[in-house]
Structures are given as C-alpha cells and as structure tokens.
Amino acid sequence: MKNQDLITIAQEFGSPVYVYDADKILSQYDRLTAAFSKVKTLRINYAVKANSNISILKLLRTRGAGLDTVSIQEVQLGLKAGFEPREILYTPNGVSLEEIEEVADLGVQINIDNLSILEQFGTKHPKVPVCIRINPHILAGGNSKISVGHVDSKFGVSIHQIPHLLRIVENTGMNINGIHMHTGSDILDIEVFLRASEILFDAAKNFKDLEFIDFGSGFKVPYTPGDIETDIEELGEKLTRRFTDFCEDYGRELTLLFEPGKFLVSEAGKFLVRVNVIKQTTSTVFAGVDSGFNHLIRPMFYGSHHDIHNISNPEGKQRFYSVVGYICETDTFAQNRRISEITEGDILAFSNAGAYSFSMSSNFNSRYRPAEVLWHNGKAHLIRERETFEDLIKHQVILDFDRVEA
Ligand SMILES: *Cc1c(COP(=O)(O)O)cnc(C)c1O
C-alpha cells in the first residue's frame, strides 16, 4: 500500500479508518509455514481476538488456516466465516461450564485450563476429546498485562498439578487428545520458549492418546524499522528438530500447532486519522487527531509504540509533536515524536494497527467505531462500515418519564 493509496482510502471512506494489507497477512502466514516446512503436519490457528473481522478470517481460510478462539462468540464468527468446527480450537479462561459444553456440542475442539472444569466436564462427557492448557511457569512476554505463563498467572493448569490432573483423567476415563501452552506475547528469547517447550514435552509423555501439541503464540513483531522480533526461522529449525525427536520417542506423528494473532495481522494494519488541530503550548506542540483511545487503546493500555507517518507531507521537514486523541481524558498516542511537518487536515498513518486495535475499540465518548478496509490485489474493499447514530442507541431502552408511573 503506497501513501497515495492510503490517502485515497481516507478520502473515499473517511477518517478515522483501519486499513489492512491482505498480501502482508498472507506473506506472514507463508513465512511461518515455511519456517516449519519440515514438520509433517503443521497447523496454524489464527487467534481471532487479534482482529475478528470475518473477511480477515475468510482470507486466512484461503491459505488453510484454522482458528484459535477464546469465546463462543468468536467460535460463531469462525463458523460464519465458513470454518468447519473441527478447524477451530476453543481456549477460554474463566468461562462457565455451560459455555464450554455449548461449544463442545458444536463439534469444536475444546481446551480446558483448570482442574475444576476438567473434572466436571470429564464426568459429564467422558467421550469428548479434550486438550489441556498447561502453564509451564516460564516467563515470557514484554509486558505484565500480556505475560501469562508466570507463577501468579491465572492461565492454564500448573505444571506442578500434573499428578492431580492425571488422577482426574483416570477417574473420569476422559480422552486427552492435545496439550497446549501459551506463555504470553512478545517472545524475545527463543531459548526461553524452547525451555517452556521441554516442559510441555515432559507433560505430554503422560498422555497416551495425543493427536497434537499446541505451542501457543507470542511471536514478537517489529514496531519500528530494525526493531527486534522473534526469529521465526531459527525457532522453526530448533523446535522442528525437537518436535520430530519427541514424536519418534512418543511413537506417533503428532500435529504441531501454533496460534499466532499479532504475528499474522499486526504489521498488515494501518490506522489513518486526520489532524484536527495543531496546538502549541509552552512546552510542546500537540497534534490533535479525530480519534482517541476509544479506537486504539494500545498506547494508553500497554504503553505500545506505533510508528506515525504524516502521509500528507511525507517529505516535509522533521519536527517534534505529541500526537493526542480527542477523548476527554489523557489520551496520548505518542509523545515528543519526530514527524514530518503537520498542517491541520493532514492524514497520519499509524503502523502496527492490524492486531488488538479495532478489536479492542469502544464507543467511549459516544463516538462511532471506525470503518475497516481490506487492501487486496491493488483494490480497497470496505469490510466494515463506520458506525452510525443508530448503532449507538440500538440497544438503549429509552424511558418516557411523562408516562412512567411514579
Ligand atoms: C491471545 C492469544 C493468542 C495470540 O497471541 P499473539 O501474541 O497475538 O500471537 C494465542 N493463544 C491464546 C490462547 C491467546 O489467548
């Protein structure tokens, strides 16, 4: 997508708007499959929560991806996108037994992450194959909010609880067909990931009927040119070797699973906003844009970095700006950033806006959620309309106080 394409999209669809590059999503998918090409059966389940637009799901389906889901609603989106139930893995945390049963009824592979639900589910449905989410207690992840493998984490069945886990499996006679870990986002150190994998292999030996091992995700993507990222190729080489050895010892070819979200869609996304106002104060120059943390919460929530380019004036003189939103609360996208000179009305493009961006947006300040556009084969396709006032009030029940009895 060239700057001019993005400007045209902002003009045609209005701002703010999310734009995703289909080629980038597919090339990331291909890069991951290439890195693990020596694995006999590899499966990539796209983590829907990163970006749940149905057209994105359908795009990934054209490449043979499956889905990783965390709610029954994500499962329903996947089915709507044309996925078969067996192509979907459901990895909830803290949801009710009823929801898990409902998803299992649909024929979706379930992944259970606590012993209480495991015992209840296994007692009632011993014939339904279940995957177990193990917490290897290996610290990964760049941010405490997204690091989920540590000892205080609410996720997974602790590796120290394997004896209790085995007792439940034996008592209920249930069938464990998969074992899973997801240690968090932003893996920087492959050795740490491999150490967690060893713990998973050790746990896996306890189960006789495994069909797959799911290594989760957490691949780090670059946020600026030259930024560190997970070395997928090195991971592919090392983990493939270990996995192949394990399968040989285990006595059966297992499927190797990953469930990346960010890796597949983060870099493909641009968020386009328009500068409403340039405001000089005694200490800084603010560029106030027609959006806020209601549309892109990552900078405020995680302290995430998003590169920002002034695509209306890409060759302009570099100046310092704080880019802020219009929400009535501190709403900073970027502080003291070098950006080519901004004039009111210019369009800014935020990078890495494909993952956890639209999917975490809200209507705070009663603003509409933006449109989404997919750039595919050199053409812009609208894949979600901007909301309207009707959407804002759709589910409000408006009382008429002249008629409500006292
Ligand atoms: C969020 C999540 C993922 C995806 O993580 P990324 O860092 O976006 O790749 C994978 N698996 C599970 C269980 C998740 O909750």
Same domain membership, residue 389 and residue 344:
yes
Q: Please report whether residue 30 resides in a domain.
A: no
Tokens of 145: 């909010």
Model pLDDT, residue 153: 80
Instruction: Cite the beta strand spans of 6-86 per DSSP E.
Output: 17-21, 41-47, 66-69
Contact 348, 306 (CB under 8 A): no
Same domain membership, residue 288 and residue 206:
no
Q: Please report whether residue 337 resides in a domain.
A: yes
Select from 261, 292, 327 the last residue of a domain: 261
* Structural domain boundaries, residue 389: 269-393
The CATH number for 210's domain is 3.20.20.10
Q: Is the peptide bond before 16 cis (omega within 30 degrees of 0)?
A: yes
The CATH number for 289's domain is 2.40.37.10
Q: Is 209 exposed, middle or buried (0-12, 13-18, 19+ CB in 10 A)?
A: exposed
Select from 235, 261, 287 the last residue of a domain: 261
Query: Rounded to 5 degrees, what are φ and ψ at 178?
Result: -155, 155
Same domain membership, residue 313 and residue 246:
no
Determine the residue of 28, 75, 193, 217 to mutate for testing ligand 1's pocket, defined as the one with the most ligand atoms within 8 A of the Cβ atom. 217
Model pLDDT, residue 150: 62
Model pLDDT, residue 278: 98
Model pLDDT, residue 154: 86
Ligand 1 centroid from CA 291, angstroms: 26
Ligand 1 centroid from CA 216, angstroms: 7
Same domain membership, residue 277 and residue 149:
no
Instruction: Compute CA distances 123 → 5, 167, 212, 399, whole Å.
Output: 57, 12, 23, 47
Ligand 1 centroid from CA 16, angstroms: 26
What is the spatial distance between Cα 315 and Cα 192, in angstroms, rounded to a whole number? 42
Q: Is the dihedral of CA 197, 200, 204, 206 positive or negative?
A: positive
What is the reported pTM?
A: 0.95
Total domains in the fold of the chain: 2
Same domain membership, residue 244 and residue 161:
yes
Length, in residues, of the chain: 406
Report the atom number in ligand 1 closest to the C-alpha of 356.
Answer: 8
Per-residue pLDDT of 106-137, as tens digits, reads: 999 999 999 999 999 999 999 999 999 999 98
Q: Please report whether residue 94 resides in a domain.
A: yes
What is the spatial distance between Cα 387 and Cα 224, in angstroms, rounded to a whole number? 31
What is the spatial distance between Cα 271 and Cα 301, in angstroms, rounded to a whole number? 17
Same domain membership, residue 79 and residue 45:
yes
Q: Is 70 in the pocket of ligand 1 (CB under 6 A)?
A: yes
Report the atom number in ligand 1 closest to the C-alpha of 259.
Answer: 10
Same domain membership, residue 276 and residue 217:
no
What is the spatial distance between Cα 117 and Cα 234, in angstroms, rounded to a whole number? 37
Residues of the chain under the 50 pLDDT cut: 141
Model pLDDT, residue 404: 74
